[in-house]
Amino acid sequence: MPPGDLDALAARREEPHEGVWRQNVPAVLAFLAVASQWRVVAGGMGGIAVIGLDYTGVRCGLAAAGIRVTPAIWAGLQVMEAEAVRAMNGRAG
């Protein structure tokens, strides 16, 4: 799904989500809606390090996608953010 394809995102809300527990689907969809909003810093030797989501961009992205953020969605999004940061920075866990 290309970034910004809100029709595709809306359609995914109605699809079965194999491999994702039903209670986690809203958080996963929220994460996918803002998956391009990463903050990075320059590292040594021309590399980069991902430090986390840009929460200002996340707020705008979720609002644009029509996603109302509940405490459960926010918590799920932060869990996925932490694991994605670890994976993108090459730290398995």
| Residue-range definition of the domain harbouring residue 40 | 6-88
- Banded model confidence at residue 1, pLDDT cuts 50, 70, 90: very low
Structure confidence by residue, pLDDT tens digits, 58-74: 999 999 999 999 999 99
> Which pair of tokens denotes residue 11?
């359609």
* pLDDT value for 20: 85
Cα separation values, 69 from 17, 42, 59, Å = 20, 31, 9
* pLDDT value for 44: 78
| Number of compact structural domains in the chain | 1
Look at residue 79 and tell me whether its pLDDT is greater than 50.
Answer: yes
Name the pTM for this structure: 0.75
> Which pair of tokens denotes residue 59?
């707020």
Section 5-19 average pLDDT: 63
Classify residue 93: in a domain, yes or no. Answer: no
Classify residue 25: in a domain, yes or no. Answer: yes
